A and B are shown apart, each in its own frame.
Chain A
Amino acid sequence: MAEEVIDLGKMTRDFKKEAMKIIPGGGNLDLCLNCGTCAAGCPATGLADLDPRKFLRMILLGLDEEATKSPWVWMCTGCQRCIYACPMQIDIPRLVYNARATWPREERPKGILGSCDMALKNASGSAMGASPDDFIFVVEDVLEEVKDTQPGWDELQAPIDKKGAHFFINQNSREPVTEPDELIPLWKLLHVAGIDWTYGSKGWAGENYCMFLADDKSWEHVTRTSIMQCAELGCKVYLNTE
């Protein structure tokens, strides 16, 4: 039972207004039928006492603070199943993203914040903070070891900053930093298939925690660094392996 009546007249619905300006096509926010299809098929339903339907209803009512400050906004993965299932194609994940962005940066989850800040430390864009030199060292070291220990791979390549390569391929930091042997299968496949590819010394890291942090400026910086390296090298295709 509600403890007090919500006075709709007092609600400014600022968050909704701002969101509708940003979301392509306005996000269809006013078209909610309240059917609950989104909530029924969302794995985050019930976490932090929220679900996509409740979250949207709160925003539509103008309960901006209660909705946007709920830790639930960090428990939605943005998988978009709710949009896919919704008869009105309402963009709830984008609302969640905007809600994340209303949090003071230093109050956002430490792990995500730290991973974004690591990516801003150097030109790698790596959430684990590995520098371009670290990356080059690991790649060369692993490649050398394959050639020394496995027969038939003398021509195996793991190019970095190869000008004019067709594919610019990025790499999740987890391999070079914590399990470098897992780099090798991809190199072998590219070699067997005769693919012309390269990593970049800058922007080689595939992950982007600044996006999850809803820090637009940093997200753009990390992405731009990588894309510009691809353009600088004259590669034809930017292949995001993440």
Chain B
Amino acid sequence: MRKGFGDPVADDLRFVVKSLVGEENFVEMWPNKSNNYCCGGGGGFLQSGFTEERRAYGQIKLDQILATKADYCIAACHNCHAQIHDLSELSGKHFPVVHLWTLICLSLGILGPNEREYLGDDLKEVNMPEQKE
């Protein structure tokens, strides 16, 4: 957001997420929007070979996420998804990290059974569309 279209787009995304999960289920992390920290998945870091440093870099993001006590973390970008998923597994907390498209399709009732890889067990069977025999 900081590098692209700025906080107005961050607000648009909050509208989307709140519409999906309900206002009361959205937990803001701190700091946020343009003042937020990078997770450490960008800039080629994931492929740079500096794994230990990449995870040390991600510690701030991990602490931010854990402080929210939220059940799910949404990552709308691939690099962020890969990095935060790694941080989640490594921390032993194993909180699910989901793409935005997964949650949108889930809420619309059109998320197929094979499209639920990143959902936690609590949502694996929720809003499952009909299957062909």
Contact = CB atoms under 8 A, between A and B. Distances in A.
Interface of A: 41, 43-44, 46-48, 71, 74-81, 84-85, 109-112, 114-115, 127, 146, 148-152, 172, 174, 179, 181-182, 184-186, 188-189, 192, 206-207, 209, 212-213, 242
Nearest to A173: B78
Interface stretch (B17-25, B34-42, B66-74): B34-42
A225 B104 CA distance: 31
Contact of A209 (B36, B47, B50, B112): B47
28 contacts: A43-B38, A43-B58, A43-B60, A46-B56, A47-B53, A48-B53, A74-B48, A77-B40, A77-B57, A78-B43, A79-B2, A79-B37, A79-B42, A80-B2, A81-B36, A81-B38, A85-B35, A109-B48, A109-B50, A111-B46, A114-B47, A115-B47, A182-B115, A185-B105, A189-B104, A206-B78, A209-B47, A242-B77
A213 B99 contact: no
Nearest to B81: A174
B110 A188 contact: yes
Interface in B77-112: 77-78, 82, 99, 101-102, 104-105, 108, 110-112
Nearest to B46: A111
A195 to B, nearest CB: 13
Contacts of B53: 47-48, 75
B58 to A, nearest CB: 7
Q: Is the interface of A mostly helix, strand, loop or mixed?
A: helix
Contacts of A110: 49
A28 B131 CA distance: 60
B44 A181 contact: no
B105 A150 contact: no
Given A74-B50, A150-B112, A207 B43 contact: no
Nearest to A47: B53
B45 interface: yes
Contact of B132 (A80, A127, A148): A148
Question: Looking at chain B, what size class is its interface with the partner chain?
Answer: 35 or more
Given A77-B45, A80-B3, A115-B47, A151 B99 contact: no
A230 to B, nearest CB: 19
B47 to A, nearest CB: 3
B61 A43 contact: yes
A49 B41 CA distance: 20
A188 B108 CA distance: 10
B78 A207 contact: yes
Contacts of B36: 81
B121 interface: no
Contacts of A179: 117
A148 B131 CA distance: 10
A82 to B, nearest CB: 11
A172 B57 CA distance: 24
Contacts of B34: 84
Question: Would you list the 4 A-B pairs with minimal beta carbon distance, nearest first?
Answer: A212-B44, A79-B38, A77-B43, A111-B47
